[in-house]
Amino acid sequence: MALRDLGAEVRAVRTAVDLDDVRALVIPGGESSAMLRLMKPENLSHKIVERTRAGMAVLATCAGVILLAQTVVPTQPSLAVLAIDVERNAYGRQVCSTIAEVDLSPDFGDPPRMEGVFIRAPRITGREASVEVLGSWGNDAVLVRQDRVLAATFHPELTGDRRVHELFLRIGEEANG
Ligand code: GLN
């Protein structure tokens, strides 16, 4: 596991009570509609919104980004804590899964690019000024940050480059003083 390799203590969050035990949260890839259903009965989603608004560090990847987005196409409920618009499965069948070079913001240092594994990825079709683009693939923003929320439409855990997770841990440390 990427975060454990970097020395972080990791545990699973399945219920609203589990969330009390963690200082930062990863919302992974998967299937966003199924994840929404799983979050419902426990009211986990409500608590994630509350904690995120209060400044918890969050790393969302792929389906996790869809869950956080303010609007989703085709229409789907979301937590709406990240000021981006996304379109699900927007890259179509041909690039349903692909590995592409992501151009990184200079803050990441060398090398200036990172391999991005895209698996039925959403496309970020719009964003507010509060959302900073940290990585792009062609004209598309694929790694963005808003306050302490870091969101990648690709899967940084599937390659060896740990710079996204390192940044997430730094954001988490900053959040917890
Ligand atoms: N296509 C999925 C969804 O819409 C996301 C895919 C992924 O997380 N790799 O939820």
Over the stretch 89-138, which tens digit does the pLDDT of each residue have? Answer: 998 765 578 999 999 999 999 999 999 999 999 999 999 999 999 999 99
Structure tokens at 168: 């997430």
C-beta atoms surrounding 46 within 10 Å? 13
pLDDT at position 119, please?
A: 94
pTM recorded for the entire structure: 0.96
What per-residue confidence (pLDDT) applies to 48?
96
Residue in 56, 82, 57 with CA at minimum distance from that of residue 69:
82
Q: Which residues line ligand 1 (CB under 6 A)?
A: 29-32, 62-63, 66, 88-89, 119-120
How many C-beta neighbours within 10 Å does residue 53 have?
A: 10
Out of 31, 96, 155, 173, which one is annotated catalytic?
Answer: 155
CA-proximal residue: ligand 1, atom 5 (nearest): 63
Those residues with Cβ within 8 angstroms of residue 74's Cβ, 6 or more apart along the chain or in another chain: 88
Q: What pLDDT, on a 0 to 100 scale, did the predictor assign at position 143?
A: 98
The residue ranges of the chain whose pLDDT is under 70 are 93-95, 177
Confidence at residue 1, expressed as pLDDT on a 0 to 100 scale = 82
> What residue type is assigned to position 15 of the chain?
T
Domain 2-176 has CATH 3.40.50.880: yes
Give me 145's structure tokens: 């940050």
Active site residue 46: no
- Angle formed by the axes of helices 44-53 and 32-39, nearest 10°: 100
pLDDT at 126: 98
- Annotated catalytic residue within 9, 62, 115, 128: 62
